[in-house]
Amino acid sequence: MAKLSTLQRYEAKFAKSKEMFARSEGMVPRGVAHDAWQVSPFPLFMTRAEGSHIWDVDGNEFIDYFGGHGGKMLGHAHPVVIRAAQEQLGRGVQFGTCCDLMLDWAGIIQKLVPSAERVEFTNSGTEAIMLGVRLARAYTGRKKIIRFQFHFAGAYDAVTVGYKKPFQVSVSGGILPSAVEDTIVLPMNEEAVLEEALRNRDVAAVMVEAAGASSGVIGIKPSFYQTMRELTEKYGSLLLFDEIVTGFRYSPGGVQAAVGVTPDLTTLGKGITGVMPGAGAIVGKKNVMEMFLFKDERWNRYKRVSHFGTFNANPLCAATGIAYLNVIATGQPTRDANRNARKLRDGMQVKLDEREIPGCIYDSNFSVVHAYLGKCDLQGKCDRVVCVNAGKERPAEVGEALYRNLALHGVKTATRGYDLFLSAVHTEGDLQKTIDAFGSSLDTLLEEKKL
């Protein structure tokens, strides 16, 4: 009897997910509710999650390494967060006015995040990005925004260029050319290029994913953080850190606290509640955030940055955010997640080396592990922490093949397969099972000529 292929085994093991995807395509345009959840031949449909594990509709149990798109440092359904949510549900979730819990929530964010002299709550990370761009333009009186190649910043029109090649072409249809004509895309880590772009003093803000592109797939040289800070100050531009993923993960105060460079503005998202839906924030220096203030009639009508949002600082998110961040503030979850990442990184690298497969497993200096399968001119010359090789390719079809194989071994990653988000609650058993699954998956990829 012929051996079944990975695709055949995937379709057989996840039969109910296949059926649900077929039904979903008749209801939801692409069968999924988020572009990042699409995978061939179909995505997995989940029913529940707890700790470091997640279960699908077929009853299969997985070790989860996506964790709410990277925001669940305490894993799924942490008891402290669940208790806070349950207690608040009985008190109300939307008051149509200010919520008393907002003060405690904002206070702990101010305590943890160096740039958070003032906190403006939003409903999502994408809204925080929108407000960040708007604030920078209003405060400086300038139009242009600088972004870096491969950096992601959500769905706002002005930042839909730069994420994929060709960099000056939006990743979405329906975006007017005028929406992106003032967005400049630059290569990362090149001081002379950045200074030249700032020299005309027409740039409102330099926006940067704080750990580097796609949560550190292409990292930032440690010295370049200070370079960005000095050059933006020199030419009167604002420095904006996107910490929607890295905030409260890289350190309790995000990348900025870890590297000692404080931006003018910071966008926060899922991480301010441990991924309770409906929360985000734009935080920043007092003088910039004063653009939100009500003043005289002319200021309010023509200068002030307005902001609406039915669920801004809603009581449910505030309650869970306080509970979650109080645990994060101890620093122990960060230490545990980082330790787990080191162990997973090193174990996965051994599996590559044993098979003499060219490639590298690195961790961006915090709790996200990245896999690169292929040759690299820098291999053997770096510490497998920050990767600055912007020329490396990670083919989507190989990533999906890795995702499917890992899933067949009980390991759930992002659908691109190459990136794993660690939490404080992943166990030694989880890590060893994942390392073994990675080795077995590599064997299958070699056998099926995917590598």
Q: Are residues 154 and 269 in the same domain?
A: yes
Give the range of the structural domain holding residue 34, as residue numbers without chain letter: 6-75+332-447
Is residue 432 one of the residues assigned to a domain?
Answer: yes
Q: Give me the pLDDT at residue 290, please.
A: 98
Our CA dihedral for 59, 63, 65, 66, rounded to 10 degrees, sits at 20
Q: Hey, which residues does 265 pair with through a beta bridge? A: 240, 284
Q: Are residues 118 and 45 in the same domain?
A: no
Please tell me the pTM assigned to this model: 0.96
Q: Are residues 136 and 59 in the same domain?
A: no
- CA angle 433-437-442, nearest 5°? 155
Q: What is the CATH number of the domain that holds 115?
A: 3.40.640.10
Domain end point (choices 328, 359, 390) = 328
User: Based on the number of CB atoms within 10 Å of its own CB, is 70 exposed (0-12), middle (13-18) or buried (19 or more)?
Assistant: buried
Q: Give me the pLDDT at residue 365, please.
A: 80
What number of H helices and E strands is found in the chain? 17, 14
Q: Give me the pLDDT at residue 1, please.
A: 66
The Cβ of residue 330 has, within 10 Å, a number of other Cβ atoms equal to 10
* Alpha carbons 249 and 42: distance in angstroms, whole number: 30
Q: What is the CATH number of the domain that holds 375?
A: 3.90.1150.10
Is residue 296 one of the residues assigned to a domain?
Answer: yes
Q: Give me the pLDDT at residue 277, please.
A: 87
Distance of CA 194 to the CA centre of its chain: 24
Q: How many domains does the chain have?
A: 2
Is residue 109 one of the residues assigned to a domain?
Answer: yes
Our CA dihedral for 285, 277, 89, 44, rounded to 10 degrees, sits at -160
Is residue 422 one of the residues assigned to a domain?
Answer: yes
Q: Are residues 413 and 289 in the same domain?
A: no
Q: Are residues 141 and 268 in the same domain?
A: yes
Domain end point (choices 272, 302, 328) = 328
Q: Are residues 288 and 410 in the same domain?
A: no
Would you write out the chain's pLDDT as a tens digit for each of its 451 residues? 678 999 999 999 999 999 999 999 999 999 999 999 999 999 999 999 999 999 999 999 999 999 999 999 999 999 999 999 999 999 999 999 999 999 999 999 999 999 999 999 999 999 999 999 999 999 999 999 999 999 999 999 999 999 999 999 999 999 999 999 999 999 999 999 999 999 999 999 999 999 999 889 999 999 999 999 999 999 999 999 999 999 999 999 999 999 999 999 999 999 999 888 889 999 999 999 999 999 999 999 999 999 999 999 999 999 999 999 999 999 999 999 999 999 999 999 999 999 999 999 999 789 999 999 999 887 777 888 899 999 899 999 999 999 999 999 999 999 999 999 999 999 999 999 999 999 999 999 999 999 9
- The CA R_g of the chain, rounded to the nearest whole Å, is 22
Q: Are residues 16 and 63 in the same domain?
A: yes
Is-contact 115 264, C-beta < 8 A?
yes
49 phi and psi angles, rounded to 5 deg: -150, 145
* Alpha carbons 228 and 174: distance in angstroms, whole number: 32
Q: Are residues 135 and 196 in the same domain?
A: yes
Is residue 305 one of the residues assigned to a domain?
Answer: yes
Is residue 1 one of the residues assigned to a domain?
Answer: no
Q: Are residues 90 and 62 in the same domain?
A: no
Is residue 224 one of the residues assigned to a domain?
Answer: yes
Q: Give me the pLDDT at residue 346, please.
A: 96
Q: Are residues 226 and 167 in the same domain?
A: yes
Q: Are residues 422 and 281 in the same domain?
A: no
Q: Are residues 64 and 191 in the same domain?
A: no
Domain end point (choices 328, 358, 376) = 328
* Alpha carbons 127 and 31: distance in angstroms, whole number: 25
DSSP alpha helix (H) spans, 235-373: 254-259, 286-289, 297-302, 315-328, 332-354
The side-by-side arrangement of strands in the sheet containing 368-373 is: 359-362, 368-373, 419-421
Is residue 208 one of the residues assigned to a domain?
Answer: yes
* Alpha carbons 267 and 264: distance in angstroms, whole number: 10
Q: Give me the pLDDT at residue 204, please.
A: 98
